[in-house]
């Protein structure tokens, strides 16, 4: 009996979902766990968006829709690109899917051939490498460090290119580091992309969650030539606190959209009709929610970075976007208490052991950096209340003190 396809050997279950689930199970069992694992805003979906969903149900919009999404939502997405990014698209350029994650999956299913290489700048969002592998491709990671503010350079990119390289992934603002690529750095990378006849997939899901007046930039805004080669992924999950509604969208070359429509049409078909109506209202309606949420995140971000940098053995860059901090804890790994426990545990990943110990003994759930390709760090989501953040960070400080 075959219980597992070979291709799954290259794929891991999502570590962020696993940690969130474990923290929840501990909480349900009555433990006072602080959950820094969540990849979703702690705000309720705005009322006017929920109202739009209720109206859609009352109007009977509860049936199949076109695979690529209802026309009015696709038109709203077209308007969004024009309003926010000065990019002009037609309906044939747009596809709506069940979350940004599915759009990314369908993009790679529709474009990769076996062995095609995809460049993934690290630290990277947990799912990129696994999705590329599932689609038969080969992820090629380029590492970066806090020194370069977690950004790769055009030179690093060029060094990794082979005759199999097909796509460069860009995620700005980034999960997990919060780094935001500037126009200048993007231009340098695009030069390489054009020279080597590659495509770019930009994951703009954190476009709206950006601080310090930093400007979001998508390479497609550079020129028509670059736009032809760019596939943009975005969605409503993070910007409008709609993670459970599962609506993401993609914009790109009509042939890619057509092929993605085929993949989607033979798998999930349309995204939920009710969620599509809600997403349309989110994109077209009152946008003031975003500012309220970003202002709250901004305050938490600054406090968290300050707190972490005051802990000996931890150093933390100030992220410019998203709602995560990615503190480097490699100095803490040298603490005698840590070394001793690590040796006893037999665990090879230091960040995994750090997080396991933190959860078990100090009831704080954070995601090990290794899940994002960097064992020197952990990821902390500050999309939880300030008192919870304070409590969790205080426990981390205590753990480090106890290990010293």
Ligand X SMILES: Cc1ncc(COP(=O)(O)O)c(C=O)c1O
Q: In the complex, which residues of this chain contact ligand X (CB under 6 A)?
A: 39, 99-101, 125, 171, 175, 203, 205, 235, 237, 243, 248
Q: How many CA atoms lie within 13 A of 79 on its CB side?
A: 12
Distance, in Å, from the CA atom of 355 to the CA atom of 311, rounded to the nearest integer, reads 16
Looking at residue 29, the DSSP 8-state letter turns out to be T
First to last CA, the chain: 51
Least distance from ligand X to the Cβ atom of residue 299, Å:
21
Nearer to ligand X, 216 or 338 (CB): 216
Strand partners for 200 = 168, 230
At 336 the three-state DSSP class reads helix
Nearer to ligand X, 248 or 327 (CB): 248
How do strand 94-97 and strand 117-121 relate by DSSP bridges? unpaired
Please tell me whether the peptide bond between 17 and the residue prior to it is cis, using omega within 30 degrees of 0.
no
Nearer to ligand X, 67 or 236 (CB): 236
Nearer to ligand X, 176 or 313 (CB): 176
Least distance from ligand X to the Cβ atom of residue 307, Å:
23
Least distance from ligand X to the Cβ atom of residue 201, Å:
11
Least distance from ligand X to the Cβ atom of residue 381, Å:
10
Nearer to ligand X, 16 or 93 (CB): 16
How do strand 248-251 and strand 94-97 relate by DSSP bridges? antiparallel
At 315 the three-state DSSP class reads strand
Least distance from ligand X to the Cβ atom of residue 100, Å:
3
Least distance from ligand X to the Cβ atom of residue 267, Å:
15
Least distance from ligand X to the Cβ atom of residue 398, Å:
29
Number of H helices, E strands in the chain: 14, 12
Nearer to ligand X, 65 or 237 (CB): 237
Nearer to ligand X, 104 or 157 (CB): 104
Least distance from ligand X to the Cβ atom of residue 397, Å:
27
Q: Which pair of structure tokens corresponds to residue 92?
A: 């044939």
User: Nearest to ligand X by Cβ — which residue?
Assistant: 99
Distance, in Å, from the CA atom of 261 to the CA atom of 265, rounded to the nearest integer, reads 6
Distance, in Å, from the CA atom of 57 to the CA atom of 61, rounded to the nearest integer, reads 6
Nearer to ligand X, 293 or 332 (CB): 293
Report residue 212: phi and psi, to 5°: 60, 25
Nearer to ligand X, 185 or 322 (CB): 322
Nearer to ligand X, 328 or 372 (CB): 372
Distance, in Å, from the CA atom of 244 to the CA atom of 229, rounded to the nearest integer, reads 31
Least distance from ligand X to the Cβ atom of residue 206, Å:
7
Cβ neighbour number for residue 299 with a 10 Å cutoff: 12
Least distance from ligand X to the Cβ atom of residue 126, Å:
8
Distance, in Å, from the CA atom of 23 to the CA atom of 38, rounded to the nearest integer, reads 10
Nearer to ligand X, 95 or 399 (CB): 95
At 131 the three-state DSSP class reads helix
Q: Given its phi and psi angles, is residue 118 left (phi above 0), alpha (psi -120 to 50 degrees) or beta? A: beta
Least distance from ligand X to the Cβ atom of residue 237, Å:
3
295 Cβ contact list (under 8 Å, min separation 6): none
Is the distance from CB of 123 to CB of 326 less than 8 angstroms? yes
Distance, in Å, from the CA atom of 48 to the CA atom of 293, rounded to the nearest integer, reads 16
């Amino acid at each position: 009996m075959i219980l597992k396809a070979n291709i799954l050997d290259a794929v891991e279950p999502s570590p962020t979902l696993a940690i969130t689930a474990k923290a929840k199970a501990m909480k349900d069992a009555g433990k006072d766990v602080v959950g820094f694992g969540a990849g979703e805003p702690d705000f309720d979906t705005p009322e006017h968006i929920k109202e739009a969903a209720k109206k859609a149900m009352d109007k009977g919009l509860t049936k199949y829709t076109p695979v690529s999404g209802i026309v009015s939502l696709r038109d709203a997405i077209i308007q969004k690109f024009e309003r926010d990014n000065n990019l002009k698209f037609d309906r044939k350029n747009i596809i709506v899917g069940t979350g940004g994650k599915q759009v990314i999956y369908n993009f790679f299913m529709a474009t990769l051939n076996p062995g095609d290489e995809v460049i993934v700048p690290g630290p990277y969002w947990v799912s990129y490498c696994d999705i590329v592998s599932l689609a038969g491709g080969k992820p090629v990671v380029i590492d970066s460090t806090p020194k370069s503010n977690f950004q790769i350079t055009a030179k690093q990119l060029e060094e990794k290119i082979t005759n199999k390289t097909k796509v460069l992934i860009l995620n700005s603002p980034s999960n997990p580091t919060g780094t935001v690529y500037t126009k200048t750095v993007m231009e340098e990378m695009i030069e390489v992309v054009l020279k080597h006849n590659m495509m770019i997939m930009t994951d703009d899901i954190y476009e709206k969650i950006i601080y310090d007046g930093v400007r979001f930039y998508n390479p497609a805004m550079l020129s028509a030539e670059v736009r032809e080669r760019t596939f943009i992924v975005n969605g409503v999950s993070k910007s409008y606190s709609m993670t459970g509604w599962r609506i993401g969208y993609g914009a790109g070359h009509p042939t890619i959209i057509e092929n993605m429509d085929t993949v989607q049409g033979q798998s999930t078909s349309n995204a939920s009709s009710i969620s599509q109506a809600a997403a349309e209202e989110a994109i077209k309606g009152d946008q003031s929610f975003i500012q309220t949420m970003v202002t709250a995140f901004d305050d938490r971000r600054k406090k968290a970075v300050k707190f972490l940098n005051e802990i000996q053995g931890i150093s933390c860059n100030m992220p410019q976007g998203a709602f995560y901090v990615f503190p480097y804890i490699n100095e803490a790994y040298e603490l005698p208490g840590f070394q001793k426990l690590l040796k006893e545990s037999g665990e090879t990943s230091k960040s995994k052991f750090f997080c396991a110990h933190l959860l078990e003994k100090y009831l704080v759930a954070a995601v090990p950096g290794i899940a994002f390709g960097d064992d020197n760090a952990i990821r902390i989501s500050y999309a939880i209340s300030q008192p919870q953040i304070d409590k969790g960070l205080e426990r981390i400080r205590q753990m480090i003190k106890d290990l010293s």
